[in-house]
């Protein structure tokens, strides 16, 4: 009798949960690969709510829009629904992969992983339903007839192409790039692009050539109305996102030409956007992107001059005393905001990074360069230069990894005893952690076998 009652209770609880689910969006918990397969099997796009625990608008959507019966019924019928906590280990990489920078961000993704539509910010019931309904119109449609009509027997009519691209603004689907390329061919033969059509250009940045075109024709602010300025400002973020994506692709696929072309475009874009000031944001960004690329993919001949330029422009102007002063000011402001409360981590290394942010940054950047010189070069002059930079790094903060890098350089120069001394100092540092300790011990063993 007890077992029967228990089974009935489970059935009642399960029925109740189904009723609740039908009254709100049913967010599934699946691996991303499984969600894509389910999307394909059920012929449904994926709706993703990218949120964080600290986001107020995210919590409001959870409590209102996502709880609405009509919204729940519509979204559960037409979409595979997911939630990604952008701060969680499980979903942070996916959020970065899809270029999420604000919360909540709503993504509509097809079964291939392609974003058809995105929207950032709180949506009420009507807003979410209108947005979702517009996505379904494009989700799995066949545009072959439209393509045929737009080509117009090899001579596409510009007005029809512009109208079509305006209708598709913000959407992503397989044949949209083909349609845009018809218009892009026409644009390339023109001297300029109308302000009213520039939104089409920045909405269709499929490759580096599209990006170059968008940057080359970036409108001058002096010629814009206030409404046009708002539109161009939105386009600016799309261009910067594409630049970031191309940097990431070049690094991932070891494409030096793409990396250097993207850096060139980044400089041109920064010059146009910041034409009235002398801040060279892109120059700083390019140096660090290129250094990472040359380092990871072992382009030794390109690494040395760029590393020397970075140190000259980003390190030397900020001497150790200046950085310590900035760290003290920052810490004082932090304590003032916290009303004297202590939030400083207890581990010496974590405490160091928290309280001496600027000094640590300088020391660490120098150490990375010294370590690469130890690995890349055998030239005595370059190795001696690396020793000077290692000493400068220690003047900011005496990091154990810098002692290890210096030991590597000294070993290459034939100073084994000095190298062993720096290994001992690295192992005795209060700032050492397990990861660095393993690296130091590994090099110590290699040094002792020489």
Q: Name 46's bridge partners.
A: 80, 109
Parallel, antiparallel or unpaired: strands 46-51 and 115-120:
unpaired
Contacts of residues 93-98 at CB distance under 8 Å and 24 or more positions apart, as own/partner, are 94/32, 95/50, 98/50
pLDDT, tens only, 37-77: 999 899 899 999 999 999 999 999 999 999 999 999 999 99
What's the rounded Cα separation, in Å, for the pair 397 and 364? 9
Asked if the model's pLDDT at residue 162 lies above 70, the reply is yes
Q: Which CATH class is domain 316-448?
A: mainly alpha
Domain with CATH 1.25.40 in the chain: 316-448
What's the rounded Cα separation, in Å, for the pair 239 and 219? 13
pLDDT, tens only, 21-42: 446 899 999 999 999 999 989 9
CATH of domain 22-136: 3.40.30.10
Domain with CATH 3.40.30.10 in the chain: 22-136
pLDDT, tens only, 400-409: 999 999 999 9
For residue 180, what pLDDT is reported? 93
SS3 label, residue 406: helix
Task: Give residue 98's pLDDT band: very low, low, confident or very high (50, 70, 90).
Answer: confident
Which residue's structure tokens are 């956007």? 273
For residue 89, what pLDDT is reported? 86
Asked if the model's pLDDT at residue 293 lies above 80, the reply is yes
Half-sphere exposure of 363 (CA within 13 A, CB side): 24
For residue 19, what pLDDT is reported? 42
What's the rounded Cα separation, in Å, for the pair 142 and 174? 9
More confident residue, 286 or 7: 286
Stretch 129-134: mean pLDDT, rounded? 90
**pTM of the shown model:** 0.73
Mean pLDDT of the chain: 87
């Amino acid at each position: 009798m007890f077992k029967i009652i228990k089974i009935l209770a489970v059935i009642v609880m399960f029925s109740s949960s189904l009723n609740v689910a039908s009254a709100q969006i049913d967010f599934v918990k699946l691996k991303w690969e499984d969600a894509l397969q389910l999307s394909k099997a059920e012929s449904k796009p994926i709706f993703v709510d990218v949120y964080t625990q600290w986001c107020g608008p995210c919590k409001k959507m959870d409590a209102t829009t996502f709880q609405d019966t009509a919204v729940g019924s519509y979204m559960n019928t037409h979409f595979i629904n997911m939630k990604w906590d952008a701060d969680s280990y499980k979903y942070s990489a996916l959020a970065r992969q899809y270029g999420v920078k604000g919360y909540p961000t709503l993504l509509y993704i097809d079964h291939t992983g392609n974003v058809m539509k995105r929207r950032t910010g709180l949506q009420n019931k009507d807003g979410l339903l209108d947005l979702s309904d517009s996505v379904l119109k494009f989700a799995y449609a066949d545009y072959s007839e439209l393509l045929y009509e737009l080509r117009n027997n090899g001579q596409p009519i510009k007005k029809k192409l512009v109208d079509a691209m305006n209708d598709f603004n913000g959407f992503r689907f397989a044949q949209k790039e083909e349609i845009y390329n018809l218009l892009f061919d026409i644009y390339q033969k023109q001297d300029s692009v109308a302000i009213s059509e520039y939104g089409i250009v920045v909405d269709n940045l499929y490759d580096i050539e599209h990006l170059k075109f968008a940057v080359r024709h970036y409108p001058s602010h002096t010629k814009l109305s206030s409404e046009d300025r708002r539109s161009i400002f939105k386009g600016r973020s799309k261009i910067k996102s594409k630049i970031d994506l191309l940097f990431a692709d070049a690094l991932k696929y070891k494409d030096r030409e793409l990396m250097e072309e993207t850096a060139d475009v980044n400089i041109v874009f920064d010059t146009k956007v910041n034409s009235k000031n002398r801040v060279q944001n892109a120059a700083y960004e390019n140096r660090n992107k290129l250094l990472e690329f040359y380092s990871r993919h072992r382009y030794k001949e390109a690494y040395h001059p760029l590393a020397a330029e970075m140190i000259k422009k980003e390190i030397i102007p900020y001497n150790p005393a200046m950085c310590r002063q900035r760290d003290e000011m920052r810490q004082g402001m932090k304590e003032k905001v916290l009303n004297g409360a202590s939030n400083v981590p207890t581990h010496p290394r974590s405490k160091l990074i928290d309280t001496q942010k600027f000094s640590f940054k300088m020391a660490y950047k120098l150490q990375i360069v010294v370590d690469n010189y130890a690995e890349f070069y055998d030239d005595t002059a370059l190795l001696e230069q690396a020793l000077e930079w290692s000493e400068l790094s220690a003047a900011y903060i005496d990091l154990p990894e810098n002692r290890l890098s210096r030991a590597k350089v000294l070993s290459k120069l034939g100073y084994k005893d000095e190298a062993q001394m720096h290994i001992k100092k690295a192992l005795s540092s209060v700032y050492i952690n397990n990861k660095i300790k393993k690296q130091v011990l590994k090099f110590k063993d290699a040094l002792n076998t020489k």
